[in-house]
Structures are given as C-alpha cells and as structure tokens.
Structure 1
Amino acid sequence: MAARGRRVAVLSALVAAVLLGLGRAAAAEGSAGPHRRFEYKYSFKGPHLVQADGTVPFWAHTGNAIPSADQIRITTSLKSQKGSVWTKNKSIFEYWEVEVTFRVTGRGRIGADGLAIWFTEEQGMEGPVFGAADKWNGVGIFFDSFDNDGKKNNPGVIVVGNNGKLLYDHQNDGSTQALASCQRDFRNKPYPVRAKITYYQKTLTVLINNGFTPDKEDYEFCAKVEDMVLPSQGYFGISAATGGLADDHDVLSFLTFQLTEPGKEVVPVLFFFLPADDPFETVSDRELRQIFEGQNRIHLEIKQLNRQLDMILDEQRRYVSAVTEEIAKRGAAVSGQQGQVSQQEIDTVVKTQEEVIKQVNEMKNAMADTLRLISGAQHPGSAAGVYETTQHFNDIKEHLHVVKRDIEHLVQRNMPPVEKPKCPDLPPFPSCLSTMHFFIFVAVQTVLFIAYIMYR
C-alpha cells in the first residue's frame, strides 16, 4: 500500500512538472525570438568554394561573374561590366535571414555602379538594375556607389520593393521608389563589409557592419520596412554592375537561415523527459561543420608558412647578390697587387648562411607540427560523415610532405662551404714600354743609322 502511494506521488510530481513547463513555454512564446536554421543549399562560403568544373554548388552564375576558391568576383574593375549569382532552387520557407560578406574596392575616389542583394519570385539573371533584371517581384537591397541625381547622398543603401510591374528609377537613384534607406560608405574598407538582412513577420530589417573592425557582430542599424509582403517562395541572388567608373565587387560569403516562429518548430513530444539535442543541427551536421572549421584553420596556417618561406628565400637571394657584387668590385679595383677577401667578410657570409639555415629549420618544424595536426584531424570521435573528407586530408598531407622535402633540399644547398673562397687572379702587369716610346726609339735608331752610313 505504501509503495503504491509513493508511485502515485511520483507520477503526480511528473505531471505537475510537465504542466509547469508547458505553462512557462506558453508564457514565453510571445517574447522569444525566432529559431534559426542554417540552409546550406542557399549559401556559399570559402575556402574550396568552387567544384572541379568551375561551378558553385546549388548556385548559378552569369555575365562577368568569376567564382574562385575563396570568393565570387561579381564584376572586375573594368567599364560596362555586369554579373550575378543566383540560387538554383526556390526557398521553401516563409521567413529568412541572410548574412552577406563582401568587398567593394577601386582606385578612384568615386566608384560605380554598385551591388544588389535580391529575393525575387523569379531569377533576374541579367538586366539594367545593378546587373539584374528589372520589373522584379520581390525586394532588392541596393548598395549604390554612384551619385546619379547629384544630391551627394552616395554611397548609400536603398531598399526597393517591386510587384513585377515597375521600372527602376535610375536617374534619381531609386529615391522615388525607396521604402527605406541609409547613407553608408562601403568602399575600400580595411575589413570586409557585412550586411544582415532579416525578413520576419512581414518586417524587413537591414543591419550593416561598416568594415572598420574585424568583429563580425558589430552591426549598426540601417533600415526597416514594416508590413512588407514578399513572395512565400523565391530565389536569393546577388548582382553588380559598373559603368563609366569601375570597382571590384567581391562576395566572400552568402549565408542563409530559415526563421521559424516559436511553437511551430518540430519537437519530439514522446521524449520530453529526456534532454533533446538541437533539432536544427544533427550529429552528422555538427561533425561536418567541425571538420570544415579545422580544415579552414589548416589552410590558413599553410598559407602563412608559405609566405614566411618566400620572405626568407628572397632575403637570402638579395644578400648573396650584394656580397657577390661587392667582391667583384673589389677584385676589379686591384692593380699590381693580389686581391684578397678579408676573413671578416667570409665570417659574415658564413654567419648569414647559418641564420638562414636556422630559419629554414624553424619552418621545417612548423610544417611538421601542421602535419601532426592534419593526422589528428583525420581521426575524429565518430566515423559518421568523415569518410568523404579523408581523401582531401590525404591530399593535404601529401602536399606537406613535398614541401617538407623541398625545405630539406634547401637546407642542404645552403650549408656553408668547407673551403674558403679563392682569391681573384692577379691582373696582367702593365708593359714597361709604351707605344709612343717605341716609335720614338725606332726613329732615333733610324737617324743614327743613316748618319753612320753617310759618315762612312
């Protein structure tokens, strides 16, 4: 009887805890923010951005756009260029957020024309509006570099909506059609510029990171449009164009997130007593993300080591060239004496060679540490989702072996010589009789000979 009473008490406590949790969730539902889920099919980010055939997975580029391993150059700094990149598939979620990282750089004080971020019902592959099609159904966020209307309000950010029937007002920089705008200078910044665009509950918000700081979360408010109705499904895109003036428009990353209202996300109800993992990131996705992050760090470290090795080799070449030129000058200046290189100069050359060898050995040790890092990254805790990346890690490992072998050859080639450098040969001694003296001597001898004949 007592055991039955204890079971009833425990069951009552569990029911009370469940009801209390549901009540708190219902109370906090109105104030909680949306749930974010990363959508890789609508995103891209370097490194290893491009496939073997030169395309970006799940994206299509057109015009003068040039994808590379780290970024997509929408237009180069040439006149009258147009380019764009668009998702191949329509989005299947109502609310979204995109984070775009880009650079706009040019040699002039004024650039043109600008860059645009799109969400439209149809792909606007090519056209007159910053490289994309006009009469779009959706919204465009324009980063306008050139001041067409002469109001000195550029560079600026403009939000322009369209129902598929309006032509963009180029002459007035879209000011007659702008739903919201802000003035921001996004050209030639020390760090990439970031834009966070959020569409949630029919409200569009634009935040800007001005590119003066490496802090990725240092955003400033730019624009906000309320009661905005966008297509429930559409394509994401980014385009750019140049005119009489030109800039390089480079996009480093385009990250898309699905936003879900609280209470509408899928939750496993049967297992509410157990601690559930994040429903928006599976174990395989988390392992894959960790592998990509480690791979990115290794890639950056290898690039840094290669730059340091190039600096060491350049320094050695310059020093050897300077010493050789100095020895040649001193050997040419010797006349009638034996040219000799001082012991101090020889010691200086040998000391410099030893310093170079020491630096190359440090580089070799750094390469070995990187190799051990790659070997450790090949064996994560779980084998799920890792098999596809093993071949890529093996390629990196083989590349590092080649670099290591080249460094060893460099060390052997730059060992100080055992024998001392030979002194330059003596220059030929000058002749005792010059040409003028020879002719004078011949003339005197001739006169004396003629005088002697006449005397006889």
Structure 2
Amino acid sequence: VDTYPNEEKQQERVFPYISAMVNNGSLTYDHDRDGRPTELGGCTAMVRNLDHDTFLVIRYVKRRLTVMIDIDGKHEWRDCIDVPGVRLPRGYYFGTSSVTGDLSDNHDIISLKLFQLTVERTPEEEKRDREVFLPVVDNLRLPGLEAPLEPMSGLALFLIVFFSLVALVFAIVIGVIVYNKWQEQSRKHFY
C-alpha cells in the first residue's frame, strides 16, 4: 500500500494505491516512480483515517495471483489485482515489511493468516510446479525494460553482409601491402 505519490507528474492514479510486484532479486522497487517500472497491477484503496478495519486477501492458485480488498467495512470483497502466469517456487516464506519514499504513513498489521489450498492438479502441472526455482511471471513486459529488436529486412541484412565483406577484403589488401613492405625492408638489411 503506497499512501502518497512520489512522482510529481503522476496524474492517472489516485492514492493510496495497492500494487503487486514479483521479484527474483534482480529488480528494485523505484520509490521515485511509485514502483511503476516493476508493477504487475494495482488499484486505488482509500485506507487512510477510517473508523473500521480494512482487509486485504492475497491468493495464489494455479499460477494466478489475485488480490481482493474490503475497505468499506461492509464485509464485501472487491477485486484489485488479477495476474495470470505467476510462477512462485515452493518452500519460500511470507513476510511483511515497510519501506517508504519521502512521505510515510502508519499501517498496523493486526494479523496475517496463511492457508494451504488443496487444488486438483494433473501430473504435468505438478511436475511443472516442482521445476520452478525462481519467482517469475510468464510473458511479463515491464515498461522499464527494452522491447526485443525486430528482425532485419532482407535488404538490410544484404547491405550489412556486403559492406562487412568489403571491409574484410580491404583489411586483407592493406595487410598484404604492409607485409610486403616489411619483407622488402628486411631483405635490405641483409644486402
């Protein structure tokens, strides 16, 4: 839960804001940009200065991460985040922490309840889940990362190969000329 915006030009997002991030240790949370470069999804959640408790449910079932919230005190869940293709390894631990940017707020975690859900899986799904060693998200395209380059056209490839060959032939000719001059100079030393 990010309660205050740090990015000055941010217009399309209302704070407080809940966002999700999956990390294998290679990414960092960008406080100056409110975590946008690594965000999987999020929603606005007006959780400040309320007279009732607010609740957040995080579910991870069959490679799908969902977050639902109850912030109105009506005991009704509202969808916040739904991300398919999340692969989390087994044997990790849940934890809570607080890291703030320039502005901070007080949040009390009253309880943290964890439940193991029993879900029917095929043997292939079971094997595939056992092979996950690092947390990843399938087909993840983060805005901060560069897009893959498009394949070259036939003409561009031809020109690159042609000029590479011309440069190679030129280098060989220069090498032969320099070698012949050196040979000629070496013969003059002995006569």
Which TM bucket (shorter chain)?
A: 0.5 to 0.7
Aligned to 2:21: 160
Q: CA deviation at 1:263?
A: 7.9
Aligned to 1:188: 49
The answer as to whether partners of 2:3 and 2:105 remain within 8 angstroms in 1 is: no
Q: 1:385-440: per-residue Cα shift (whole Å, max 9, x none)?
A: xxxxxxxxxxxxxxxxxxxxxxxxxxxxxxxxxxxxxxxxxxxxxxxxxxxxxxxx
Aligned to 2:78: 220
- Identify if the C-alpha distance between structure 1 residues 181 and 246 changes in structure 2 by more than 3 Å, giving closer, same or farther: closer
Higher strand share: 1
3-state SS, counterpart of residue 163 of structure 1: coil
3-state SS, counterpart of residue 4 of structure 2: coil
- Separation (CA, whole Å) in 2 of partners of 1:175 and 1:149: 10
- Larger Cα Rg: Structure 1 or Structure 2? 1
3-state SS, counterpart of residue 161 of structure 1: coil
- Separation (CA, whole Å) in 2 of partners of 1:263 and 1:203: 14
The answer as to whether partners of 2:27 and 2:38 remain within 8 angstroms in 1 is: no
Q: CA deviation at 1:250?
A: 1.0
The answer as to whether partners of 2:31 and 2:100 remain within 8 angstroms in 1 is: no
> How many residues are matched?
119
- Separation (CA, whole Å) in 2 of partners of 1:261 and 1:186: 32
Q: Check if 1:199 corresponds to 2:60.
A: yes
Aligned to 1:377: none
Kindly report which structure 2 residues correspond to 1:49-64, keeping only aligned pairs within 5 A, or say none.
none
- Separation (CA, whole Å) in 2 of partners of 1:245 and 1:160: 20
- Identify if the C-alpha distance between structure 1 residues 229 and 263 changes in structure 2 by more than 3 Å, giving closer, same or farther: closer
- Separation (CA, whole Å) in 2 of partners of 1:229 and 1:263: 15
- Separation (CA, whole Å) in 1 of partners of 2:38 and 2:100: 22
Structure 1: segments with no counterpart, 5+ residues: 1-142, 265-456
Q: CA deviation at 1:201?
A: 0.1
Structure 1 length-normalised TM: 0.25
3-state SS, counterpart of residue 233 of structure 1: coil
Q: CA deviation at 1:245?
A: 4.0
- Identify if the C-alpha distance between structure 1 residues 229 and 187 changes in structure 2 by more than 3 Å, giving closer, same or farther: same
- Separation (CA, whole Å) in 2 of partners of 1:179 and 1:158: 7
Aligned to 2:115: 257
- Aligned residue identity for 2:117: L
Kindly report which structure 2 residues correspond to 1:31-430, keeping only aligned pairs within 5 A, or say none.
143-150=1-8, 151-152=10-11, 153=13, 154-210=15-71, 212-213=72-73, 215=74, 217-242=75-100, 245-262=103-120
- Separation (CA, whole Å) in 2 of partners of 1:256 and 1:179: 22
3-state SS, counterpart of residue 171 of structure 1: helix
Aligned to 1:63: none
- Aligned residue identity for 1:144: D
Structure 2: segments with no counterpart, 5+ residues: 123-191
- Separation (CA, whole Å) in 2 of partners of 1:242 and 1:168: 11
Question: What is the alpha-carbon root mean square deviation over aligned residues?
Answer: 2.0
Q: 1:124-149: per-residue Cα shift (whole Å, max 9, x none)?
A: xxxxxxxxxxxxxxxxxxx0112011
- Identify if the C-alpha distance between structure 1 residues 244 and 158 changes in structure 2 by more than 3 Å, giving closer, same or farther: closer
- Separation (CA, whole Å) in 2 of partners of 1:234 and 1:201: 16
